Amino acid sequence: QVQVQQWGAGLVRPSGTLSLSCAVTGASFTGNYWSWIRQSPEKGLEWIGEINHRGTANYNPSLKSRVTLSLDTSKTQFSLTVTSVTAADTAVYFCVRLRSGNFMDVWGKGTRVTVSS
């Protein structure tokens, strides 16, 4: 059974950097895209970006200048970094398997990230 387990800091200072990671078990990186979604009352569900096993990434243009996705194939882990955070980045962040690049069939439990001083 494919599972994704996520972790990272739940509180980030304004102008700081948000970092989250996700470990994949039960599946290979190959053939799938691995994605991050965030959810806030203001914006609802928002796709942040995706990365495949080759490290090819696609980003939401609204966040592209501040977001980096990366992966460690040896550990089957992938990570999200968001720089220069503001209160607008406060949200629950989910790591997700994006099957065939189309549908999100495996979700992490979510990490609530608050941007506050």
Partner 1 sequence: DIQMTQSPPSLSASAGESVTITCRASQDIFRYLNWYQQKPGEAPKLLIREVSDLEAGVPSRFSGSGSGTDFTFTISSLQPDDIATYYCQQFENFPLTFGGGTKVEI
Binding residues for partner 1, rule: CB under 8 A, are: 44-47, 58, 60-62, 94, 101-105, 107-110
- Closest distance to partner 1 from the beta carbon of 74 (Å): 26
Q: Among candidates 79, 102, 97, which has minimal Cα distance to 28?
A: 97
Rounded CA separation 88/102 (Å): 27
Burial of 3 (0-12, 13-18, 19+ CB in 10 A): middle
- Closest distance to partner 1 from the beta carbon of 37 (Å): 8
- Closest distance to partner 1 from the beta carbon of 102 (Å): 5
Closer to partner 1 at the Cβ: 13 or 112?
A: 112
- Closest distance to partner 1 from the beta carbon of 117 (Å): 27
Rounded CA separation 56/35 (Å): 12
Burial of 27 (0-12, 13-18, 19+ CB in 10 A): middle
Closer to partner 1 at the Cβ: 60 or 81?
A: 60
Closer to partner 1 at the Cβ: 29 or 108?
A: 108
